[in-house]
Amino acid sequence: MIPAAGLPPIIASRYRPLRLIATGGMGAVYEVEHVRTGEHLALKILLAGVGASPADVERFKREARACARIESEHVVRVTDADTAPEIGGAFFFVMELLEGMTLERAATVALPAPAVVIAWLRQAAQAVDEAHHLGIIHRDLKPENLFLATLNGGRSIVKILDFGIAKMVEEGTGATGTGQILGTPKYMAPEQATAEVPVTPATDRCALGLVAYRLLMGDSYYQGGAMVILAQLLHGDLQVPSERGSRLGPAFDAWFSKACHRDPNRRFASARKQIEALAEALGVPGEVGDQDLLLAAPPLRAEMENKAERPRVPPTAAGRSPILIASLFAGGLAAVLIVGISVARRIAAPSSQQPSSEAARPPVADSDPTPSASWHRNTAVWGNAPDDVWVAGSSASSRTGTLSHWDGKTWAGTSGGPFPAIWTLWGAGPGDLWAVTDGGGILHQTTAGWTMHRAPEDFRAALVGIWGRGARDIWVVGASGTVLHWNGATWSDVDAGVGSHTLIGVWGSGPHDVWIVGDKGAIRHWDGSTWSTFPSGVAADLFDIWGDGPTNAWVVGTAGTILHWNGISWSPSPKKTDGDVMGVWGSGRDDVWAGGVGGALLHWDGVSWTAVPSGTTQTLNEIWGTGRDDVWAVGTNGTVLRWDGRRWSVGPR
């Protein structure tokens, strides 16, 4: 992987690299500017360059050719392909730069209504049928490769990405000449798991059926590791959705059985017919226009207005929980609530330690954003969009909870209090916001306002962290090993086997991948059925966790601790600060922020961590954002900072 800073100033005499967007199996994608037209585009470089295998080169070229041949607005548009001496003669191609999100992320933000799913898949089906008409089989259709792009004027459109392993119909089987299986197991058709059955257009239509299942059911049909799934593909029976808890009715069962039938000849004859049959099975009438993609799914509107996410960026777990750290409250309260944590250094006066002078970006103005001491201590920040941001905390004088809302122009306090001291926030979308508090209280905001309830009955432990993947799947952690789960109707007390550990952070990439972290290096993992211990290798108190998938997560803690999960083990990153690191959040694998004591702000660009001046010495307790150009950090003495993609400045507080 080459960071944008490591590329030559000009590629192929016409493209100026601006930033790294993402890396994939074969290529790295960069945002570039055409030096003559000024247009911003996405440029993909074959990672192995001139040393790539002939098969890799051919797949890379095939992706460019396939996108160029399919004349559909629902396929990402390729504008150029060449080799460049400036990058050692490596192959590259150039495509339109998209703004929006993948359908995987959209479905993680909030479970979409059936009408919305139909609207999305109707557009994808048009491109799939066009590709098949040209003899092109995608072979890797999945929610991560279906991109919900926002065009000029706010119009939305689904585009198919990544034809890197596309195959021409006449080329034959699902395996390569060496027997290598290509595709993503969770969305494979059975014939892709064997070299004995030809891959045909029906293979893509089976994948489209599995995509529909994931979008409608909230999880993928196939679960487990690659070998487990391949065994199911080869020998398993197809269960109907109702056997897995679907309430979409027998018509959906019948549709799914046909769409994903083991015999390709018994599947639907075209993608268009397949999705129209799904609409009939779900009782979705007529066509749904592009704008209805937003209007029919209010929880997604704010996410779609995020102009920062680019194609092929691995989706973040939207709505991750901004996590509370013990330093945020007055000493007496914190000492009572956070049992077992070394509270002293987190409740003391803010450290005078300054961030390293090593800076990745220009510093902010010299003014220190420190309001008067009467301002509340900000403990959490979370929102839906740049004009829908919430900040929570506690009053410096009365220790009562505070909630403030930013509408893009002004801040306003929230009525309905007084509230207990609030530790952190998380929401499933506009009008569905949760806050956890001192003493086991849980605040819930709906369109009717804020209500308080306890979970479960008579529960009193301090609740410290919250995260979820939708309105029916929320996790809360707290003192005394507390783990609570919300199923959409009731809260239940879960035994995670952590004893008396104080649990502070929670995050996950899905229902079968949830992490909790806490004091003394505690890390536990939920795989959907059991809790397991994953040694952190440190004795530090761990405060916050964030990631963008099951193979990429970050944890921060005391004394500059930053740990990274690569899908196999946790490993520490080199320290960039000796102070406690309180919060972590990012917009993608190459854009992660961490903040902590002394105003420390650290940035990960996909290669290394660097310190970025924040302009304050106040402890920064939480970080959250809507994208790489809109990040918020909050802290003691009412501190609110905002990052606009170039610099940190005092938030509009």
> Given its phi and psi angles, is residue 172 left (phi above 0), alpha (psi -120 to 50 degrees) or beta?
left
CA distance 77 to 43: 12
Interacting residues of 548 by C-beta distance below 8 A, sequence separation 6+: 314, 315, 316, 317, 509, 586, 588, 589
DSSP 77-92: PEEEEEEEGGGTTEEE
Amino acid at 398: S
Paired tokens of 396: 């410096």
Partner residues linked to 634 by β-bridges: 622, 640
Q: Please give the backbone phi and psi of residue 582, each rounded to the nearest 5 degrees, phi first.
A: -95, -40
Peptide bond into 456 cis (omega under 30): yes
User: Of 12, 7, 115, 23, which is closest to residue 590 (Cα–Cα)?
Assistant: 23
- With residues binned 3-state (H G I as helix, E B as strand, rest as coil), the percentages for the chain, rounded to 5, are 25, 35, 40
In what side-by-side order are the strands of the sheet with 531-533?
503-510, 513-518, 523-526, 531-533
CA distance 297 to 112: 6
DSSP 33-70: EETTT--EEEEEEETTGGGS-HHHHHHHHHHHHHHHH-
Active-site option among 129, 140, 591, 630: 140
CA distance 182 to 202: 16
Q: Where are the beta strands (DSSP E) in 487-644?
A: 491-493, 503-510, 513-518, 523-526, 531-533, 542-549, 552-557, 562-565, 570-572, 581-588, 591-596, 601-604, 609-611, 620-627, 630-635, 640-643
- Active site annotation includes 140: yes
Q: Please give the backbone phi and psi of residue 564, each rounded to the nearest 5 degrees, phi first.
A: -125, 135
> Given its phi and psi angles, is residue 357 left (phi above 0), alpha (psi -120 to 50 degrees) or beta?
alpha
CA distance 476 to 472: 13
Interacting residues of 542 by C-beta distance below 8 A, sequence separation 6+: 504, 505, 517, 518, 519, 521, 522, 523, 536, 555, 556, 557, 561, 563
Partner residues linked to 388 by β-bridges: 385
Q: Please give the backbone phi and psi of residue 110, each rounded to the nearest 5 degrees, phi first.
A: -165, 140
Paired tokens of 357: 């002078």
What are the start-end ranges of the H helices in 313-393? Answer: 331-337, 344-347
CA distance 607 to 359: 15
| DSSP designation for 9 | S
Q: Which residues are catalytic?
A: 140
